[in-house]
Structure 1
Amino acid sequence: MAQNYWLQPEQPAPLPKVNTPIRQVLEQPLEQLRRQHQLILNAVGEGIYGLDLDGYVTFVNPAAAAMINWPMEDLIGKSMHTVMHHSHVDGSHYPREACPIYAAFQDGSIRRITHEVFWRKDGTSFPVEYISTPMHDEAGQLIGAVVTFRDITQRRWAEDVLQRTNEELEQKVQKRTAKLRQANEQLRELSDMRSRFVSMVCHEFRNPLNNIILSVSSLNRYDSQLQPAEKADYLLNIQANVDRMTAMIDDILVIGKIEAKVLDIHPTQFELVAFCRHLIDEPEYQRPQRPVEFACRSRQIMANLDQQLLRSILSNLLSNAIRYTPDENPIHIKLAKRQNQIILQVQDQGIGICPADRRDLFEPFHRGRNVSNIPGTGLGLSIVKQFVDLLHGTIEFSSQLGTGTTFIVRLPLTYLAI
């Protein structure tokens, strides 16, 4: 059986001469304990080694030595950083002072790393995840560190296979979509939407799903080490990502009803000024620094329209204005009546729209190039445009990058089915 190598501690002072049976009774538990520790280290499948305060190896188990192809006896007393952690994955020099393992010597902290490599004696490397844990003596003094690591080559291989499979699947979906467009020109618009839908699902759904998977993995892996507040943060992150995907699905269902021409229109008579004021007063449209400003020269404007569609038009435009406008900048909503039309204007002083995005602004799943990490599905303005069309109205906009955007919606006062 492979032996575990330890630095020999300083020999204790000889015991007083006592009866031999008594010395055996005193020494037997200590020897058994050493033997048990040695058997445990030899049996563990993960690599384990210890370092003193100078970074030299004090003990190493067979699994660690086997993974880096070094004899155990040759590792004792060597700098483990020089032996197997001397370079990054690209071969560039890895300074010892930048190594997370040695942070345990500086601040006594535990470091968990999942994205580095260790090097074998033959010059080849393998991906690892490792934990560096500070080691203290009975008096609480820092005396070194214990490092536990594992070879994650198989896991990385599986991740690469999964990624390639996803890419191949996406290519198959795109090819299938192209064949459908060629087979039937009458389904061209539907095929385009399906293609964009696939792209949106791959991109917009992948981020929240990855966040959820990462949170669940962290909860499973470090459950016993996480504080209650940290667990709560992971759960809140999962809930936020679920809500984000639910909102996307709701918008997709609305688009589907419009495309299938099964969205019913129910016009009713109502007063527009009060309608707009009530919408702006709802909690989700409250701004702490600059409340949304509403203006209308008329005290009352009666209209005969579908309130749900009009509400969706105004709420989407207002939500976008709030989302892309700094809290300290103003947002204005103006309502006017001209002959048999109503004119709704939503004006902000936000980030503006890039010229390259304006042609496709009302296309489903399209998002501006300058939105950065501001959340959104790219469906809101598409829904607005199609609802305006259903009500036989028009929508136009003007925008200046970095200055703001103004949307103008014109609708007939009375909806007439065609």
Structure 2
Amino acid sequence: MGDSDQKKHESYRYEALFNQASMGIIVVNNAAEIQSANPFALGLFGYALEELLQKPIELLIPGRYHNRHVGHRDGYTHNPKTRPMGVGMDLFAIKKDGSEFPVEVSLSNYQDEGKQFIIAFISDISIRKKAEAEIEELNNKLESTVEQRTRQLTAAMQDLEQSKDELSKLLEREKELGELKSRFVTIASHEFRTPLSTILSSTYLIERYTRTEEQPRREKHLQRIVSSVQLLTDILNDFLSVGKIEEGKIQVRFTRFDIQELVWGIVREMEVTLRAGQQLMYHHQGEPVVELDASLLKHIILNLVSNASKFSPENGPIVIETSVEQQEVRLSVKDHGIGISSEDQKHLMERFFRAANAGNIQGTGLGLHIISKYTELMNGSIQCVSELDQGTTFIITFEQNPVKE
């Protein structure tokens, strides 16, 4: 086969490839005028070949991109290089009927008889773009679903954590109530023994004092019985109060009342229960009308005075002071008893705590705990000032709104 036949054969081969290619192929000259287009490209754009020849390539590009495209293709003309399809630009093309569709374009160039030509390989990527859009929509829906499920799971986890916390609190409360019951049995077996023995022995002795002149002895033992019963009642009341506090059943009822009248009533009530020679002294400063829970305040004062009496020597004075200044109500109970160490003062308000120097003095270790809780319920604070063998002063301060007459 001669050179002429070889060239003719290669021409046929390239022409077959050009005509049978399954992508659009358009050849333009250096002026970006269309020189040729294969059948696939003509079918893609809906033109006959005669309608495209010598027309600018911008005919196949939407008008809004013309200015930008002219700049791109002039730049390419001055610096032509092969741009593979894989790194081709995603563009929009326009058909003869005006409809637009997305395309991917790859460029190449060649020279023939000293003239430069550019070949554009064009692929319709409508199906791919549609698939990508569907995948993106699916991903968005999936992300939305995952986000929603995550929120639901987070909410469920939070509910579970809250339920866990509530269960832990319930278990802790059950544990505390169990401890309270256990302590009650222990303390009851110890603290009840002495007053019950006193009641039993006094009752037995009263039966033996039958003569009239023995009336003072009978009265003495009757008083011992009354005191012992009162002690048992106080112990039971302490446990009942702690139980109500733990269960949140204490309701605070603020009322307006004369604090001087309340304290003087307590002084008269407590004087008969003091140890031999002990004396209660009371002082007040400021307006007498306050707004607190009178019942809780009375319990606080009774408990503090009872403690002061128990831990003070005979003939020791116990001083109660109250004052009302602007928005503050102040109560203090001072004794000259055995005092409390600085270490024990850190634990005074804990349930069942008893100071190391309490010795055999009866008590449940609940009184100050109850006082502290009642004080909190009335928006107050409690302070202890004490030294060993130097006496003790409890100071309670309540913040309240000004009371108008």
Normalising to structure 1: TM-score of the pair? Answer: 0.47
Structure 2 length as normaliser, TM-score?
A: 0.48
- Bigger Rg, which one: 2
